[in-house]
Chains A and B, each alone.
Chain A
């Protein structure tokens, strides 16, 4: 089945810093989503981005489907950005299921 790899696995930032999280996938996909898992365990939808670029406030994401990767940019990080960021893809080989990467654990220091 499709493989989803995220990097880096862990990231520590000073408040105000910028960062880029990466998601690589091994096969063509129908869709790709980025989630933030907050300290209470909730999965918050950030972006639905099978291709192209989207921005929402300090966050933006780019997916280059032909090269099988997506990037999540966090600018001017805040302590509330801490948590785990997951990329999830739905393979274009039939079936409706999201395959998650292992996540990037982000800690933003005040």
Chain B
């Protein structure tokens, strides 16, 4: 069964450093998403991406964040200058269309020290 994959599973970084989280969505899906979950809290939407551009973003997705689909398979989230409060689990998801079921990857746990 096709699945969304994410790498790395866990990343530790120092405050102020840049990190890139990587995702491989399901191959025939057209919509891609990033969400985050701070420990013990609910899952929050960050950004959706379609046709090589951002469809929608939340107020959390400020200038320190960016997304890219550098090739036909990868979808990345870059955090330019990490802060302690960026520590969270980051989930990538994909869907066939914008209103279809979303499939989530296993997440990348980001720890900022």
A interface residue numbers (CB < 8 A to B) = 30-31, 33, 35, 40-43, 45, 48, 86, 88, 90, 95-103
Q: Is the CB of A96 within 8 A of B104?
A: no
Q: Which residues of B contact A99 (CB under 8 A)?
A: 45
Known contacts: A31-B101, A48-B101. The answer to whether A97 contacts B43 by CB under 8 A is no
Among residues 28 to 45 in chain B, which have CB atoms less than 8 Å away from a CB atom of chain A?
31, 33, 35, 37, 41-45
Give 14 A-B contacts (CB < 8 Å), ordered by A residue.
A31-B100, A31-B101, A41-B37, A42-B106, A43-B43, A86-B43, A88-B43, A90-B99, A95-B48, A96-B48, A96-B95, A96-B99, A97-B56, A102-B41
Known contacts: A41-B109, A43-B91, A96-B55. The answer to whether A86 contacts B42 by CB under 8 A is yes
**Contacts A42-B106, A98-B93, A98-B102 supplied; 18 other A-B pairs, CB < 8 Å:** A31-B99, A41-B37, A41-B107, A43-B91, A43-B104, A43-B107, A45-B104, A48-B101, A88-B43, A95-B48, A96-B33, A96-B50, A96-B99, A97-B48, A98-B33, A100-B42, A100-B43, A102-B41
| A-B pairs under 8 A by CB, number | 61
Distance between A3 CB and nearest chain B CB, rounded to angstroms: 12
In the bound assembly, the distance between CA atoms of A101 and B44 in angstroms comes to 9
B interface residue numbers (CB < 8 A to A) = 31, 33, 35, 37, 41-45, 48, 50, 55-56, 58, 89, 91, 93, 95, 98-104, 106-107, 109
In the bound assembly, the distance between CA atoms of A43 and B48 in angstroms comes to 18
Q: Which residues of B contact A88 (CB under 8 A)?
A: 43, 102
